[in-house]
Amino acid sequence: MKIVSDITAIMTGMWITWKHIFRRPVTIQYPEQKRTPYPRYRARIVLTRDPDGGERCVACQLCSAACPVDCISMQAAEGVGGRRYAEWFRINFSRCIFCGLCAEACPTLAIQMTPDFEICERDIMALVYEKEHLLIDGCGKSSEYNYYRHAGIGVTQPRGTGNEERLPVDVRGLLP
Amino acid sequence: MSYDPIDIGIMFAKIALVFFVILTLAAYLVFAERKVLAWIQDRKGPNRVGPFGLLQPLADLIKLLTKEDFRPAGSDKWLFYLAPAMAAIPAIMIFSVIPFGSPVTLFGHQVQLQVADLNVGLLLFMALSAIAVYGVALGGWASNSKYALLGSIRGLAQLISYELSMGLALVPVVMLARSFRLSDIVNAQEGCWFIVYQPVAFVIFLISIAAECKRIPFDLPEAEGELVAGFHTEYSGMRFGLFFVGEYINIIVLGGLAATFFLGGWHGPLLPPVVWFSLKVLAFAFLFIWIRGTLPRLRYDQLMHFCWKVLTPLALINVLVTAWWMVLRG
């Protein structure tokens, strides 16, 4: 009988909604209750420092190139011993879509995403973050990593003495 | 008929009381609907305005009153202004014939807890609910908008069709009570509620009043997924509010009528009659909200098919069976 199965179907639906009336709501009352975001949540972007306290960013422009909305811009400069750094570094958070491509592109792990999502402003110009707003004092997610200790450039130590790095091959010594 | 000033005063007091209670109840029914729907959907619902959101109806009212009263270009001015009133006022007027409590004695006068105890109360209800159709029809027609017109055409056909099955479902009630007077119908149910004798008529009446107040399985005149808002698409501010409140008044009134016709009106053990009546009305209101939270909207041909090929013949057969049974019983 079709009518019996139809009525049963309606009653089943009514029973399910009845049960849901007494279920605890899933709502989180946001300003009063806040859930802790996961550690890898992608929100406000920071520039981190290496374990020695130096700036990690070498102003290679890779983040700026990876950015799909072009919200990152910087000016490269060179310091003592040939160490590169960003003379200024700017992220326009009113354009940023928090996709995380900049953090993936960064070879020195300088640019990183943090779970701090409450960065609303009344004035849209206040969302343009300069280097002093972006730079933090910690290492962020990878506390051990120091680009210059690995790389084959003699900036923080002579060439060939970095981690997992051999001395440069003496090409004349290879002669037969 | 005596025209004692106390009688007239009591009459006005009853009208004022009914107006106040119905309008307040309608406003809080909107709130209750939002709350219950939210619970059904595992949400919390409005809870920001006042304790537990209880002042939400007030905030809604202020919002509606301060909104722009907009009239689209090319619309029919007078009909456009008249239609919301024609939707809301008959709905309140129907309540005048519903007895909401047993007669009480005030200042040495026997007072019926009913605004007007007409001997044709049931017919007045049918007539007024037919007038309420004009609000839908004229509102959609006067708006000069295709969505409103489509909604009002649907509304017309739906309301007229379901009025038929609703009326036919009430015939056995009249046959059992042998009166059109609603207080007589209530008194006839003192021993046993009519739902026991007439379960089929009750179900038909329940489905028909759900269609009559345009509740969700039958909300085609205002189907928001298809017609924006149906016949009240072009209305804003308090004119929209009148349509909106009119629908909730309709729920209360039709719930009250269902209680009067089938659930014994104010009859019930232990609790005072007025409380029993309110409980029954609120139970019907909750049932409608619950159904809204559960069922999806019908297709238009299904709606018409269901009324003309299922409900109406069933109601007619029910009338015949009741008549046969009454003749046999003598």
Mean pLDDT of A4-22: 90
Between the alpha carbon of residue B229 and those of residues B186, B223, B243, B255, the distances in Å are 38, 6, 11, 24
B2, pLDDT greater than 70: no
The mean pLDDT value for B60-66 works out to 89
What is the DSSP code (8-state) at residue B64? H
Cβ contact, residue pair B40, A26, below 8 Å: no
Q: When comparing pLDDT for B194 and A76, which is higher? A: A76
**Contacts with A25 from chain B: Cβ below 8 Å:** 38-39, 42-44
**Is 60 exceeded by the pLDDT of residue A138?**
yes
- Nearest chain A residue to B36 by CA: give it: A21
CA distances from residue B20 to B29, B288, B291 in whole angstroms, order as listed: 14, 23, 27
HSE value, Cβ hemisphere, 13 Å, CA-based, for B239: 23
How does strand A72-78 pair with strand A45-47? unpaired
pLDDT digits (tens, 9 = 90+) for B64-77: 889 888 888 888 88
A104 pLDDT exceeds 70? Answer: yes
pLDDT at A17: 92
Give the mutation candidate from A10, A12, A21, A32 for the B interface (greatest B CB count, under 10 A).
A21
Q: How much of chain B exceeds pLDDT 70, in percent?
A: 98
Which pair of structure tokens corresponds to residue A127? 């969302």
Count of domains for chain B = 1
pLDDT the model gives residue B240: 87
Q: How far apart are CA B319 and CA A69, in angstroms?
A: 72
pLDDT one-digit tens code per residue, A39-58: 889 999 999 998 888 888 88
Q: Are strands A45-47 and A128-129 parallel, antiparallel or unpaired?
A: unpaired
pLDDT (mean) for B124-146: 86
Of A17, A24, A29, the CB nearest to B40: A17
Nearest residue to B263 (alpha-carbon basis) of B250, B275, B277: B277
Q: What is the pLDDT of residue A65?
A: 93
**DSSP structural state of residue A153:** S
Instruction: List the alpha helices (DSSP H) in chain B.
Output: 5-40, 56-66, 77-94, 121-142, 146-177, 182-188, 194-197, 199-212, 224-227, 237-262, 273-294, 300-305, 312-329
* pTM for this predicted structure: 0.79
For residue B1, pLDDT beyond 60: no
Which residue in B33, B35, B44, B218 has the most chain A C-beta atoms within 10 A of its own C-beta, making it the best mutation to test that interface?
A: B44
Q: What is the interface pTM, i.e. ipTM, of the complex?
A: 0.77
Exposed/middle/buried for residue B138 (C-beta within 10 Å: 0-12, 13-18, 19+): buried
Residues of chain B found within 8 Å of residue A29, distances taken between Cβ atoms: 44
pLDDT in tens, B148-176: 888 888 888 888 888 889 889 889 888 88
DSSP letter at B307 equals I
User: Phi and psi at residue A49, in whole multiples of 5°?
Assistant: -110, 160
Q: Distance from A15 to chain B by nearest Cα, in Å?
A: 9
Lowest mean pLDDT among B8-17, B199-208, B318-327: B8-17
- Tens digits of per-residue pLDDT, B292-309? 889 888 888 888 888 898
**From A14, A20, A27, residue closest to B44, measured CB to CB:** A27
A35-150 CATH pick, 3.40.710.10, 3.30.70.3270, 3.40.50.300, 2.40.440.10: 3.30.70.3270
Contact B290 A18 (CB under 8 A): yes
Mean pLDDT, residues B208-218 taken together: 86
Residue B186: its pLDDT value, please? 84
Q: Please state, for a pLDDT cut of 90, what percent of chain A lies above it.
A: 35
Domain that holds residue B24: 5-329
Domain boundaries, chain A: 35-150
Chain B residues interacting with chain A (CB cutoff of 8 angstroms): 36, 38-44, 290-291, 293-295
Asked if B261 and B203 touch (Cβ cutoff 8 Å), the reply is no
